[in-house]
Amino acid sequence: MRPASPRALAVRILLEVERGGRAQLLLDRALDRLSWPERDRAYATHLVYGTLRRLRLLDFLLEPLLERPEKLPREVRWVLRLGAWEWLSGKADHARVSPWVEEAKRTHPRLAGLVNAVLRRLEPREAPECVRLSLPEWLCEAWRAFFGQVAFAEGFNEPAPLFLTAYRSVEGLRPGPLPDSYIWEGPKTDFSALGLQPQNPASLFAAMLLESSPGERVLDLCGGAGLKAFYLAAKGAEVISYDLNPRRQQAGEKTARKLGLRVTYRTQDLTEPLSEKAKKVLLDAPCTGTGTFRSHPELRYRLAPQDPGRMAQLQLKLLETAARATEEGGILVYSVCTLTEEEGEGVARAFLARHSEFEPEPIACPFPVLRSGLGVYVAPEGGLDGFYYLRLRKVNSRT
C-alpha cells in the first residue's frame, strides 16, 4: 500500500528497521517508487534518520511520561518517538502534535489521547553524555577510554552533504575536501551517467594513499563493487578488484562501464592466498562499520561488544593474504570504516608483531584526526565517515 504522507512512510520504515531492515535501503527504495515532490522526500528522510540517530535520547525523554513503553503497540511507540524527535528539533506544538495524533488514530484510535498528552508534556531533561549521543553504553565507554573523549560522536547525528567523486568535469559542483571530490546539492539522479560516483571523501582517501602511478598494477582486495578501484583506474592504474560477493562485483562492472573505466573483477575468498602479487595492494576490509553510523543509524543498536574483536580475527586473516600478495618494496594500505581499537590499532599491532618485513609509513591526513601514531583515525566531522588507515611498506620478504 502506498503511504499517504511522509509521516506514514516514516512509521512504516521504522517498523521494518525494528524487524531487522536497513533504513537507507528501505527509504531509498520506497522514495524511488513514489513520485513525491522534493520537499516530502526530504521530510521523510529527516524523520527516519533523525529518529534513529537520536533514538536513545528520545526514549530517555519519553521515559518519565510513559509507565510501560514496552507494552505499547509498536506503531504507537514509533509515533511517539517521531513526535519527540520533532519536538527536539524545535518544531512548534501546533504544527507538531496533531499530525502525530492523526497518525496514531489510523492504527490505534484508542491511544490517540495518550499520544496527544505525552507529546504536549515533553520537557527538557539533562541526559548523560552517552544517552545524549544515542550510543550504546559499551561503545561509548570504549571510545571514551581509547580516544579520551566521545564528543566527536555528535558528528554521526548531523545530516551530511552528498559527496561525489567526479570522473568527468561537471559544471557548477561545489568542491569537497579532496581533489576530485564534490558536493551534490540537487535531487538524486543517475550519477554514473554524469560521470559521478557517490562516495565519502574518507573512503576515497584510502585509495589515494596507495599513490599509484599510471600503468601500475594494483590489487584492490575486498573491493566490493569497486568504488576505490574506480578512482585508481581513473588515475591510470591497472586494477584487479577481488571480493567474495559476485553480485556486488556485477553491479560494479556495470557502473565501471557507465563511467568509462576499466577494472578487472575476480571473485575469491581472501582468507585463502592469492595467486598473484603487486607493488600496490589495498585491503579495504569488512568491519563493524562504526564510522558509518551517520548513514546507517540503526547499526549502533545492533552491534554487540564482542563484534569488534570477532571482526579483527577476520581482518587479520585478510591482512595475511594481502601481505603475501605485496611485492618487496611495495605498499600495502589497510583501511576500515570503523573507529574501534580492535579493528584499527589492534589489528596493526598484532600484524606487525608477526611481520617484521613490514614498516608503517606516515600518513599526511587531510581530515580532522581523532588519534594517530600507529595508523590514523579520522573524526566523523563535516559529513566525513569515521575511518582508520594504516600504510605499510614491505621492506624485505622474510616470509
The smaller minimum CB distance to ligand SAM, of residues 82 and 206, is found at 206
The residue annotated as part of the active site, out of 130, 140, 287, 337, is 337
180 is annotated as contributing to ligand binding: no
| List of residues contacting ligand SAM (CB under 6 A) | 203, 222-225, 227-228, 243-245, 248, 269-271, 284, 286
Closest CA to 104 of 114, 94, 96: 114
Respond yes or no: is residue 130 known to be catalytic: no
DSSP string across 242-285: EES-HHHHHHHHHHHHHHT--EEEEE--TTSPPS--EEEEEEE-
Closest to ligand SAM by CB, 86 vs 385, is 385
Smallest separation, CB 266 to ligand SAM (Å)? 10
* Least Cβ distance, residue 304 to ligand SAM (angstroms): 19
Q: Considering beta carbons, is residue 217 or 248 the nearer one to ligand SAM?
A: 248
Q: In 3-state terms, the chain is what percent helix, strand and coil (to 5)?
A: 45, 15, 35
Q: How far is the CB of 336 from ligand SAM (least distance, A)?
A: 7
Residue 385 assigned ligand-binding role: no
- For 215: left if phi > 0, alpha if psi spans -120 to 50, otherwise beta; the answer is left
Find the shortest distance in angstroms from Cβ 201 to ligand SAM: 13
Considering beta carbons, is residue 139 or 333 the nearer one to ligand SAM? 333
Q: Using the structure block, give the residue that is written with the C-alpha cell 531492515.
A: 21
122-131, Cβ contacts within 8 angstroms, sequence gap of 24 or more: 122/61, 122/62, 122/65, 122/84, 122/87, 123/61, 125/60, 125/61, 125/64, 127/57, 127/60, 127/61, 130/56, 131/56, 131/57, 131/60
**Known binding-site residue numbers:** 243, 284
Name the residues annotated as catalytic.
337
**Known binding-site residue numbers for S-adenosyl-L-methionine:** 243, 284
